[in-house]
Amino acid sequence: MNNKYNVLVISSYPPSRSGGIVQDNMDALSEAGHKVDFFTLYSFAGKNENQFSILPEPFTEKLVRLKKKIPLLAIFQPLAKKIFRTPSKKMSSIFNHGYFIPNLDETKPPVDDTTLNFFLPNKEYDFIQLFITERMITTLSFLTIFKKYQVPLLITCMDMLHFTGGCYFFGNCDRFKIGCGKCLVLDSDDENDQTHINYLCKMSVYPKIQYAILCNLHQKNFALECKLFNPENIFTNSIIIDEDKFIPKDETICRKLLGIPANKKFVILSRYQKGLGRSKGYDHLVNIVNTYAAKATRHELDSSVLVLIGSKDKQFAGQFNMDTLCLGYLDLEKLIKAYSAASVFISTSIDDAGPSMVNQSMMCGTPVVTFSIGTALEVTRDGENGFMAENFNDNDFVEKLFKISHLTEDEFTKLRKSTRNSALKINSKHANAERIIQIYHETLKLYN
């Protein structure tokens, strides 16, 4: 596997989005000696010569950058939102019952085949790697891409979208196993509704292309249950976390910089994003933290703090029976400091392919407590980098929290070190670049 390859990475958002996962992937392949180009929908700040787009940068993105330089412009933000529609608001999306379909009609890609074919780079590649597709292409577009390049498409599953007739997550719905239809999101009783049409559209594409489905262990179980893929085309792959960015920082300094009081010795870090309660398990988060608060001694409670990053929501934060600090949305530098400041990162997701924050926390040397779903299934090792609780068992989750809070200083220092080392083995750039090339070779064998 010493050959060097030409790779085209396609994603509908700039590579820095979604925690920089796409950028980290490209950096990993580049550092391994491969030539990597990038293709997306809109141009973006800092775009290089080997990065291609269909449309110019949205005016809304320019406004965001300008607001960072001139904070006073924030007073015009409500007006700007009414005048300038962001790209995401132009999608034919549906949100209902806590579930989301990003593009309702799979047969009508946001970018039509003629336009896509025209703007795709006229170069030769060994394989194409696909990440985020919504707002730019659908599965139908995969056929256009394959016809142009005639090389394998490595399709990275960021969520459950590729397994369904349109939704990101399917919760308790298992109709993806039989072709969707009667969709909960659409309030539909029709077996042949748009989600079933979408499913059939997807089913028609895969036999016509060379492809690999890249997903974590949790997702693979569902990929094997849906009727869209050949089992041999499904590969297990973990996400890349840039070990040169996500580096453990000094805990004391980070806590001071983030405004965490010095008397708070046990810092519980979690994420909250308004509107995503169902899949992220925020009702579990509230119950877990309050159960911890109820079982903790007075000294333990007084020296503990919950730190939330993401949406600032006073109503949500007011539900916790312990001191709570809301940091809001953080840039990458502050996010890494938040991981380093924390004693533990907790993920209460109950219907999630990730979250990648579990992997990021580990790379920063901060142990985690999670339910046994998503990325945790392949990376969390009890006692080595945190603990995995029995699915949806809040009391078990709390017991795992206490296991970390009751560690001695020496034991916790060892846990931080082993947490970082475990992440390096699984999520480092080197490990993942090798795995991607291995999947490429295995895919070639399927079609030779």
Query: Residue 369 corresponds to which amino acid?
Result: V
CA–CA dist 250, 30 (Å, integer): 30
pLDDT at position 334, please? 95
Question: Bridge partners of 206?
Answer: none
| Sheet (strand 211-215) strand order | 51-55, 35-42, 6-10, 127-130, 153-156, 211-215, 234-236
pLDDT at position 84, please? 61
pLDDT at position 170, please? 76
The CB-based long-range contact list for 386-395 (8 Å cut-off, 24+ gap) reads 386/344, 386/362, 386/419, 391/350, 392/281, 392/284, 392/350, 394/284, 394/287, 394/288, 394/291, 395/291
Q: What is the largest CA-CA distance in the chain?
A: 66
Q: CA angle, corner 252, sides to 249 and 255, nearest 5?
A: 90
Q: Which CATH superfamily is domain 251-427 in?
A: Glycogen Phosphorylase B; (3.40.50.2000)
CA dihedral in degrees (194, 195, 201, 203; nearest 10)?
A: -150
pLDDT at position 87, please? 52
CA–CA dist 382, 387 (Å, integer): 4
Backbone angles phi, psi at 99, to 5 degrees: -115, 160
Burial of 118 (0-12, 13-18, 19+ CB in 10 A): exposed
Fold match between domain 6-57+91-240+429-446 and domain 251-427: yes
Going residue by residue through the chain, which has 448 residues, state the pLDDT in tens, using 9 for 90 and above: 568 999 999 999 999 887 788 999 999 999 999 999 999 999 988 899 999 999 988 776 667 667 667 776 667 666 666 666 555 555 678 888 877 888 889 999 999 999 999 999 999 999 999 999 988 999 999 999 999 999 999 999 988 899 999 888 777 788 999 999 999 999 999 999 999 999 999 999 999 999 999 998 888 888 999 989 999 999 998 888 899 999 999 999 999 999 999 999 999 999 988 865 566 778 999 999 999 999 999 999 999 999 999 988 888 889 999 999 999 999 889 999 999 999 999 998 876 656 789 999 999 999 999 998 777 777 788 889 999 999 889 999 999 999 999 999 999 999 999 999 999 998 899 889 999 999 999 999 999 8
pLDDT at position 181, please? 94
Query: Residue 413 corresponds to which amino acid?
Result: T
Q: What does the domain layout of the chain look like in residue ranges? A: 6-57+91-240+429-446, 251-427
pTM: 0.79
Q: Considering the domain 6-57+91-240+429-446, what is its CATH architecture?
A: 3-Layer(aba) Sandwich (3.40)
